[in-house]
């Protein structure tokens, strides 16, 4: 009996040790970080990534408009089944923001969900999508963020209860769901391929428009098929040709909606999509048309909330 108890104790200890190792944060490979650090970031090009990535939507003061969207002092509250996540200060302030970060710190956050202190970030920060971004785009976006005004407003802590406040467990989540693989086959058409990069990468459209399982991972065969609204009643629309939301829209209709906020029926954008549309309006017409081309090329999916 003592030997059995000892054996079980050893097995439990070994399992715990293995889990601790497997769930450790895994930064970007050193060689890739070195390559990113060697790039000269282009702030002008980085502005496109700033709007495509929706940085202001989560990191500007709630309700900010116009130039105020460039003051990234944080405070937006994102409600979920796991708690409330609060957008942090990512302005260039060296104490309260990311002014003390290196480009390698930024790359680790964006591409691997790892903080400068070596911990896991919650995937409410959509590194699951940002992880598809190119090295040059990471360097360019960081260069642009450094040009923005500083704010000394302290970031607020997330309101997350047990067991979701155990960040180490996110290592297991990453093992199951964190991948930079494309969600659909990449097209040979350059316009569609550009749209795919914007939608699946910096645009992180799937973070809202794809249903999730009980532990917050994407339902793999329902990419962009729509989902229950985690912040209240209603649903997030199905963006594939299989749903009724925009299946009757032409590519031109979609591109115009992203630019103007008006639907083909002369309705206007509403809800959380208002901020997204304002960001999309800052892109070039070519990029909005690429996004539309990609959405029209998607395989049909049944509504993800059914």
Kindly report the pTM of this predicted structure: 0.91
Q: What pLDDT is attached to residue 83?
A: 92
pLDDT of residue 226: 94
Q: Are residues 34 and 68 in the same domain?
A: yes
Q: Flag whether 1 is in a domain.
A: no
List phi, psi (to 5°) of 305. Answer: -95, -5
Task: Specify the number of domains making up the chain.
Answer: 2
Strand-pairing partners, residue 83, are 80
Is 245 within the bounds of a domain? yes
pLDDT tens string 89-118: 999 999 999 999 999 999 999 999 999 999
Q: How confident is the model at residue 65 (pLDDT cuts 50, 70, 90)?
A: confident
Q: Which of 177, 204, 234 is the last residue of a domain?
A: 177
Burial letters 56-74, b for 16+ CB under 10 A, else e = bbbbbbeebeeeebbbbbb
Residue 229 dihedral angles phi and psi, to the nearest 5°: -75, 115
39 & 166 share domain:
yes
77 and 169 housed in the same domain? yes
169 and 60 together in one domain: yes
Q: Which domain holds residue 40?
A: 27-177
Query: Are 78 and 204 found together in one domain?
Result: no
Residue 257 lies in a domain: yes
Asked whether residue 230 carries a pLDDT value surpassing 80, the answer given is no
Residue 260 has pLDDT above 90, yes or no: yes
pLDDT for res 249: 95
Going by C-alpha positions, the residue among 134, 163, 119 that lies closest to residue 46 is 134
Q: Answer whether residue 10 is part of any domain.
A: no
Indicate whether 82 and 113 sit together in one domain.
Answer: yes
Q: Are residues 200 and 172 in the same domain?
A: no
The percent of residues in the chain predicted with pLDDT above 70, rounded, is 92
- Among the ranges given (25-34, 135-144, 157-166, 194-203), the one the predictor scored with the smallest mean pLDDT: 157-166
pLDDT at 244 exceeding the cut of 80: yes
Residue 13: what pLDDT? 44
Asked if pLDDT for residue 72 goes beyond 90, the answer is: yes
Same structural domain, 199 and 280? yes
Confidence category of residue 5, pLDDT binned at 50, 70, 90:
very low
Q: Residue 88 sits in a domain of what CATH number?
A: 1.10.760
What is the C-alpha to C-alpha distance for residues 69 and 59, in angstroms, rounded to an integer?
A: 8
Residues 202 and 217: beta-carbon distance below 8 Å: no
Identify whether residues 218 and 293 lie together within a single domain: yes
Residue 216 in domain: yes
Q: 298 near 241, Cβ under 8 Å?
A: yes
Task: State residue 12's pLDDT score.
Answer: 42
- Does the structure show a pLDDT above 60 at 1? no
Same domain, 91 and 232: no
Higher pLDDT, 18 or 238: 238
Residues 146 and 35 in one domain: yes
Summarised one tens digit per residue, pLDDT across range 182-225 is 999 999 999 999 999 999 999 999 999 999 998 899 998 899 99
| In a shared domain, residues 262 and 152 | no
> Residue 229: pLDDT band by 50, 70, 90 thresholds?
confident
Residue 12 lies in a domain: no
Mean pLDDT (the chain) is 91
Mean pLDDT of 220-239: 87
Would residue 194 count as lying in a domain?
yes
């Amino acid at each position: 009996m003592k030997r059995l108890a000892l054996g079980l104790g050893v097995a439990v200890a070994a399992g715990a040790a293995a889990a601790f190792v497997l769930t450790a944060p895994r930064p970007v490979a050193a060689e890739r970080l070195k390559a990113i650090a060697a790039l000269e970031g282009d702030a002008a090009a980085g502005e496109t990534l700033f709007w495509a990535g929706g940085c202001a939507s989560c990191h500007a003061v709630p309700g900010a408009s116009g130039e105020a969207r460039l003051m990234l002092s944080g405070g937006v509250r994102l409600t979920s089944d796991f708690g409330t996540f609060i957008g942090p200060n990512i302005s260039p302030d060296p104490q309260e923001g990311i002014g003390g970060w290196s480009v390698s710190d930024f790359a680790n956050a964006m591409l691997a969900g790892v903080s400068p202190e070596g911990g896991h970030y919650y995937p409410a920060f959509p590194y699951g999508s940002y992880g598809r971004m190119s090295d040059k785009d990471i360097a360019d976006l960081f260069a642009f963020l450094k040009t923005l005004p500083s704010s000394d407003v302290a970031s607020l802590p997330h309101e997350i209860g047990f067991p979701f406040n155990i960040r180490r467990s996110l290592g297991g989540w990453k093992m199951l769901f964190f991948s930079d693989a494309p969600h659909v086959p990449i097209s040979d058409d350059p316009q569609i391929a550009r749209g795919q990069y914007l939608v699946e990468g910096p645009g992180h459209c799937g973070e809202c428009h794809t249903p999730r399982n009980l532990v917050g991972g994407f339902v793999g065969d329902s990419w962009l098929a729509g989902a229950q609204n985690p912040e209240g009643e209603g649903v997030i629309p199905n963006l594939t040709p299989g749903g009724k939301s925009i299946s009757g829209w032409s590519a031109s209709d979609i591109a115009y909606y992203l630019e103007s906020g008006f639907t083909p029926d002369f309705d206007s954008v509403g809800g959380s999509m208002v901020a997204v549309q304002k960001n999309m309006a800052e892109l070039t017409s070519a990029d909005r048309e690429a996004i539309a081309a990609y959405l029209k090329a998607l395989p049909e999916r049944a509504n993800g909330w059914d």
